Amino acid sequence: MKIALASINPTVGNINLNFNKIRENVNKAISLNAELVIFPELSICGYPPLDLLDKQTFINECLEALNEVAKLSEKISIIVGCVTRDTDLIGTNIFNSAILCEKGKIASIHNKTLLPNYDVFDEVRYFEPSKKILLTELSKKKFGITICEDAWNDKDFWVHRKYENDPIEILSKMKAEFLINISASPFSIGKEKIRTEMFSQIAKKNNLPVIFVNQVGANTDLIFDGGCKVYDRNGNLIVASNRFKEELVLFDTQKEYDRITYIPPSDLEDIFNALVLGIRDYCTKSGFKKALLGLSGGIDSAMVAALASYALGPENVLCVLMPSQYSSEGSIAHSQKLIKNLGTKGTTINIKMLFNEYQLSLEKEFEGVNEDITEENLQSRIRGNILMALSNKFGYLLLATGNKSELATGYATLYGDMCGGLAPISDLYKTSVYELARFINREKEIIPVEIIQKVPSAELKPNQADQDTLPPYEILDKILFHYIEESKEEDEIIKEGFDRDLVRKTLKMVDRAEYKRKQAAPGLKVTSKAFGTGRRFPIVQGWR
């Protein structure tokens, strides 16, 4: 039996576009003489649809599209992800389903059993769990169909399980001959390695071939790395598609395959590919063709400029230099060098006069009060206003350039450098930004070495450096990782070898900056715990 695995890039809510992608891949699979084509989880509506699922008209249109997909199955069987609806009066009556279509009709529906309700997932809010696990038969072979999380509960793989039952184990005991898992599994650093090892163990443990089909592309803050895979009954990887791109690959159940020696890419390569895809999809799916950003001469804005150039093409990126009386000649020169290296557009708007006008306007109100962070923030907000004006006038998407270390500690200005429609590196710690810059420069200098080597500074007052306010980043980022990703508390972090006062100060900064993060631009998730939908803390609280 020839099976086509289609990793497609759906757009949430764009049901017509998604249907056309499905139809295109069905036709391609037919041309390859495939007997079955498999699509990712919720591929008709895109993942995650969130509160669109509260709209009955949305559900109706999904079901209408599902019926049209079924009509495509006259010449080939299709497994597709879509919402389905029940008619009882208990719960949401909505299911996250894998639907088998054959001979122009819906042949069977397989509902998701394990509904994730952690990190960025909130499926319990929308869906009902499966009431029954079923096998299906194709070409006289019994297939067990599961959806994403259904495969993530093997008692021999996970030390701590989130659910009591294991759909894979149940299907194995039901004498399935093949296991299929359709997914919308978001990217995070290191997850590809875990997925690969997990599915390999599932295949070997159950002595069953495993077929994995994952969504690719980005929807808002979530990036999906795709990558279809097939494992033989011994756990060997025998078929694999490319990640971070749409692709259809063929698997023949009658063919003998050699084992693929699969070495997962480095974290930095994965991060680079994920962020480029995330920026590209956020722009194109939101209707933007071009982006702009403020270029300061520092590593963060240089990184965003580079990523945007790879994502959109340098001709579609505008870098805006906005020097003040505190900007160093080096920062301006380094920014100009970066623009030349990337081939982006560049313009310079000096804010010295505007800043002086603001100070004159506020002179009476501020009389007798010393200059402080207020004047620093004024410069940042002037720059934010200029960038937003250019965005409004010419239809550019404004990219915010702050990193995770800054967003965590509040070392960012609301309505200033936090302005933007997307914050591409807001889930990368400062130390990771430097590492990614060296990765980008691995073959030739893209980001000027002077930018990588210079002491980080906001350049909002004379002789300013980030470490006047923050601990050294190599220490700060480790503390932040323990607190944010690992959810450790003060005493636990101190036991890792950090100074008590430093830990206490850092955690206090993180907690106090929650109100800023609630107003921040959406960021692209690449770590196991990003700010945004995956980390929810109250602004007003008395824990610390």
CB 120 within 8 A of CB 222: yes
Checking if the pLDDT of 441 tops 90, the result is yes
Contacts of residue 435, Cβ cutoff 8 Å, sequence gap at least 6:
268
Checking if the pLDDT of 327 tops 90, the result is no
Catalytic residue among 62, 82, 101, 148: 148
> Catalytic site residue 490?
no
Checking if the pLDDT of 461 tops 90, the result is no
What pLDDT was estimated at residue 459?
64
Helix runs in 253-315, H state only: 267-286, 299-312
In tens, the pLDDT along 25-58 reads 999 999 999 999 999 999 999 999 999 999 999 9
> At 543, is the pLDDT very low, low, confident or very high (cuts 50, 70, 90)?
confident
Q: Could you give the angle at which helices 473-484 and 500-512 cross, rounded to 10 degrees?
A: 60
What pLDDT was estimated at residue 173?
95
> Catalytic site residue 82?
no
How far, rounded to the nearest angstrom, does the alpha carbon of residue 173 sit from its chain's CA centroid? 36
Contacts of residue 388, Cβ cutoff 8 Å, sequence gap at least 6:
398, 419
Checking if the pLDDT of 457 tops 80, the result is no
> Catalytic site residue 204?
no
What pLDDT was estimated at residue 329?
81
Checking if the pLDDT of 341 tops 70, the result is yes
Checking if the pLDDT of 456 tops 90, the result is no
Q: What domains lie within the chain, and their CATH numbers?
A: 2-264 (3.60.110.10), 271-456+513-517 (3.40.50.620)
Least confident piece of the model among 387-391, 421-425, 459-463 = 459-463
Say if strands 317-321 and 345-348 run parallel, antiparallel, or are unpaired: parallel
> At 20, is the pLDDT very low, low, confident or very high (cuts 50, 70, 90)?
very high
Catalytic residue among 41, 123, 149, 406: 41
In tens, the pLDDT along 250-271 reads 999 999 999 998 888 999 999 9
What's the average model confidence in pLDDT over 458-484?
A: 83
CB 290 within 8 A of CB 318: yes
Calculate the dihedral angle through the C-alpha atoms of 330, 332, 337, 339, rounding to the nearest 10 degrees.
160
Contacts of residue 272, Cβ cutoff 8 Å, sequence gap at least 6:
307, 310, 436, 439, 440
- Quickly count: other Cβ atoms within 10 Å of residue 187's Cβ: 27
Phi, psi of 355 (to 5 degrees): -65, -40
In tens, the pLDDT along 206-240 reads 999 999 999 999 999 999 999 999 999 999 999 99
Which of 502, 288, 532, 312 shows the shortest CA–CA distance to 427? 532
CA 217 to CA 92: how far, in whole Å? 28
Catalytic residue among 2, 21, 112, 525: 112
